[in-house]
Amino acid sequence: NAGVTQTPKFRILKIGQSMTLQCAQDMNHNYMYWYRQDPGMGLKLIYYSVGAGITDKGEVPNGYNVSRSTTEDFPLRLELAAPSQTSVYFCASRKTGDTEAFFGQGTRLTVV
């Protein structure tokens, strides 16, 4: 099992550009999460999903969109990149009934 795979690992965007951060898991987990982590800060929940076709907002959803068409994939879309979205983004997944969440290695995004 690869676990949770995030791509790309690094990306530089210009203000106003769009991009999709990819997240895939091969553990058949129903729950998936997107977090952002700013320097010296904890993880802030952006969006989460409890299964294919079901998504919900977290603490900081503005400027982001998600979709969950399959159990495996949970992409995060940035439509109009802003410098405030410069951060490290982590995707995580969890099995229904389990408490352990598995995290990807993160995507480091810089908006200039």
- Give the range of 17-25, 43-51, 60-68, 73-81 binding other proteins by CB under 8 A: 43-51
Burial class from Cβ neighbours inside 10 Å (0-12, 13-18, 19+) for residue 91 reads: buried
Does residue 101 touch other proteins according to CB under 8 A?
yes
Task: Please give the residues from 21 up to 40 whose contact with other proteins meets the rule CB under 8 A.
Answer: 31, 33, 35, 40
CB-CB neighbours of 95 under 10 Å:
14
Q: Which residues pair with 51 in a beta bridge?
A: 54
Interface mask (CB under 8 A) for other proteins, residues 66-95, using x and -?
Answer: ------------------------x-x---
